[in-house]
Amino acid sequence: MIFYPAIDLKDGECVRLIRGDMEAATVFNNDPGAQAKSFEAVGCKWLHLVDLNGAFAGEPVNGDIIEQIADLMAEVPIQVGGGIRTLATIQRYSDAGARYIIIGTKAVSDLGFVNEACRAFPGKISVGLDARDGRLATEGWSKVSDLMAVEYVEKLIDLGVCEIIYTDIARDGMMGGVNIEATLSMASATNIPVIASGGISNLDDIRRLIEVSSQGITGAITGRAIYENTLDFRQAQALCDEWVD
């Protein structure tokens, strides 16, 4: 199980949202680089970065900051999402050192682009599937489609996607616990590893994910729980490391 601390970027600051609402942002650090280094200091082995402004704009907005963090965290692999809708943007983040680049909105609207990206950047493409009541949401979660997430994930099989990041929007930022059932449904519908996101609030959530990890759930992303100290970073990392061992 891989433990991913999250840094969500809005207007150059490290924030967390509630259910994707940009008007309900809580600023936890106005220096994202310092936040990233603080995660490194307590032993993070991966880092999850999202350009929230970029997700709405459809292109990088906090790209310079992401590049700076990638440079600062040269020894820590990162995954990057938000506003990634062209091969040029993927190239930019790949050149910056990102291990995985996450396609979200564009993956839902243009399956051919996912195929093209996987061919151009083999071993580097992740897909972020965010769902509200099981239906896929796009444009920074501001639009909900008629596509069911579980049905759509089947279309990604054999395209070369490295991982699926599944977020239950209703749980995101609410500290109410991870949606194990929906995440398992995603994992059972594909042979692509699934990373759980949304609602993780304490060590019990991490334990619950580990218990079902053999069914295709390989990671856990969390942010607010770390910032608000309901989830001890070192303990969560140790728990995930113990499972790997």
Residues labelled as active-site residues: 8, 130
**Residue 194: exposure state from Cβ atoms within 10 A (0-12, 13-18, ≥19):** buried
Q: What residues contact residue 143 under an 8 Å CB cut-off, 6+ apart? A: 137
Q: How far, in Å, CA of 226 to CA of 61, rounded?
A: 25
Nearest Cα neighbor of 144 from 10, 19, 8 is: 19
Q: Please report how many Cα atoms fall inside a 13 Å half-sphere around the Cα of residue 204, on the Cβ side.
A: 8
Q: How far, in Å, CA of 172 to CA of 199, rounded?
A: 5
Round to the nearest angstrom and report the end-to-end CA distance of the chain: 10
Widest CA span in the chain: 43
Q: How far, in Å, CA of 117 to CA of 122, rounded?
A: 8
Sheet strands (E) in 30-171: 47-51, 78-81, 100-103, 125-132, 135-138, 143-148, 163-168
The Cβ of residue 215 has, within 10 Å, a number of other Cβ atoms equal to 11
Q: Which two tokens stand for residue 216?
A: 């295709």
Give Cα 244 distance to the centre of its chain.
20
